[in-house]
Amino acid sequence: MPDVTIEALWNLCSSCLAIVKAGHPSVLYRSTNGRLHWVCLEAAPEMALTLRGFRQALLISATYPPPHLFAQSIGLASGVYWLQGDAPWRESAYDCAIDARVDTRFQKRSSHLQTTAETISLMAGKSTGLCVVFFPAFQYAQQVFSLLKAGNTWLRVAIQPANDPGGLIEQDQFMQDALQFAHVLFLVMGSRYSEGIDHLGGKVSHAVVVGPALPEVNPVQEARMQQLAASGRLEAFRQVYQIPGILRIHQALGRLVRAPGHTTKVLFHCNRFADPVSQQLLDPVYRSATIIREGEDLLQWLNNGNSY
Q: Which residue from 200, 184, 199 is spatially nearest to 127, judged by alpha carbons?
A: 184
- Taking the C-alpha atoms of residue 131 and residue 200, their distance in angstroms, rounded to an integer, is 10
With 50 as the cut, is the pLDDT of residue 307 above it?
no
pLDDT band at 169 (very low <50, low <70, confident <90, very high): confident
Q: What is the mean pLDDT of residues 155-175?
A: 83
Q: Show the domains of the chain with their CATH numbers.
A: 3-73 (no CATH), 89-303 (3.40.50.300)
Least confident piece of the model among 25-29, 46-50, 139-143, 236-240: 25-29
Question: What is the tens place of the pLDDT at every residue in 88-117?
Answer: 999 899 999 999 999 999 999 999 999 999
**Beta-bridge partner residues of 209:** 134, 268
Report whether 250 contacts 190 (CB < 8 A).
Answer: no
For residues 17 and 221, which has the higher predicted lDDT (pLDDT)? 221
